């Protein structure tokens, strides 16, 4: 049965389990940021840079607004990160056939080499440090997280959190409903 979080009492076992999952996910996210800094030694921005570079390596060229949407950050923030990556000659902005003003951020050869080196450093460290979980457990955990993420990306979720129209003409729908 799918978990449904309500405004009523939060003492049902599946609600406590969901809150526990969210808490552990946040804790792991912050720990992984620290691990990335320890492994790569690039300071606070390394997690953001790493994420952008890996997204480009995995999914190909994307616009700054698309990269920002997938991270839940502002376009302006992501533009600053991308500008730094351009300055370091890891990415370039190429013409976007679908949009004249919003170019595509693309990895260049140096950026692909940089991503490979990052992934090799991480793999070498993980090979020396056992996590204490099996491949099957990791795949199962990833599957659960993917399903939870998918639920929050769904049209049903967008309808659930839709703002009731106000009389004020400036009232807008949540970003999830605008497209």
Whole-angstrom distance, CA of residue 32 vs CA of residue 139? 18
Of 47 and 14, the structure prediction assigns the larger pLDDT to: 14
Q: What is the pLDDT of residue 99?
A: 84
Residues 147-165, mean pLDDT to the nearest whole number:
83
Q: What is the pLDDT of residue 7?
A: 54
pLDDT tens, position by position, 79-111? 999 999 999 999 999 999 988 888 999 999 999
Given a cut of 80, is residue 20 above it in pLDDT?
yes
Residues 29-46, mean pLDDT to the nearest whole number:
78
Q: Tell me the CATH number of domain 45-128, given options 1.10.760.10, 1.10.10.10, 2.130.10.10, 1.20.1440.230.
A: 1.10.10.10
Q: Where are the domains of the chain?
A: 45-128, 130-159
For the chain, give the number of residues. Answer: 179
Whole-angstrom distance, CA of residue 87 vs CA of residue 157? 39
Confidence class of residue 179 from pLDDT cuts 50, 70 and 90? very low
């Amino acid at each position: 049965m799918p978990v449904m979080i309500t405004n009523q009492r939060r003492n049902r076992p599946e609600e406590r389990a969901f809150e526990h999952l969210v808490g552990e996910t946040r804790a792991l996210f912050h720990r992984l940021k620290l691990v990335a800094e320890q492994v790569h030694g690039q300071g606070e921005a390394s997690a953001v840079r790493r994420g952008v570079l890996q997204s480009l390596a995995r999914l190909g060229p994307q616009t700054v607004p698309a990269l920002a949407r997938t991270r839940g950050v502002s376009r302006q923030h992501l533009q600053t990160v991308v500008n730094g990556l351009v300055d370091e000659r890891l990415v370039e902005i190429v013409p976007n056939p679908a949009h004249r003003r919003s170019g595509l951020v693309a990895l260049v050869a140096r950026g692909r080499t940089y991503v490979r080196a990052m992934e090799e450093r991480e793999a070498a460290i993980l090979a020396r440090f056992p996590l204490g979980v099996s491949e099957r457990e990791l795949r199962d955990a990833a599957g659960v997280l993917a399903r939870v993420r998918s639920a929050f990306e769904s049209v049903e979720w967008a309808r659930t959190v839709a703002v009731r129209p106000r009389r004020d003409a400036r009232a807008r729908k949540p970003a999830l409903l605008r497209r």
